[in-house]
A = this chain, B = another copy of it.
Amino acid sequence: MNEHKEQLCVAHATEILGDKWTPKLVLALSQGCSGFCAMQDESGINPRTLSMRLAKLESMGIVDKNNEKYILTKKGLDLVPILEAMAAWGNKHYAGKNDK
């Protein structure tokens, strides 16, 4: 992959993961959270923003919505390893600084 293309492809991922709350949200979804209010409680995100995030995720094919339950699609599940890599990075470079 050349540099230019790499930047373009990264842009697709950051369009999702760059939104505030979304990484946390995808993680919550990957851990079995599926209801609106459950996510709200779990993440502390306000209803307005949560609604906007879920709508965007749905429109981009990251989550499927079925009778008010949200689940990650394959495309969404493919995001999880990235989040885990991020977590590993944070853990490595901030270990013990604020994870209690």
A66 in the interface (beta carbon within 8 A)? no
- Range of interface residues on chain A? 35 or more
A37 in the interface (beta carbon within 8 A)? no
Q: Which residues of A contact B (CB under 8 A)?
A: 1, 3, 5-14, 17-20, 23-24, 27, 31, 75, 78-79, 81-94, 98-99
The 9 closest A-B pairs by CB, nearest first: A9-B90, A12-B90, A13-B86, A9-B87, A9-B91, A6-B87, A10-B86, A10-B87, A82-B85
28 A-B pairs with C-beta separation under 8 A: A5-B87, A5-B91, A6-B83, A6-B87, A7-B27, A7-B87, A9-B88, A9-B90, A9-B91, A9-B94, A10-B24, A10-B27, A10-B86, A10-B87, A10-B90, A11-B24, A12-B89, A13-B90, A14-B17, A14-B23, A17-B18, A18-B19, A18-B23, A75-B93, A78-B89, A78-B93, A82-B82, A82-B85
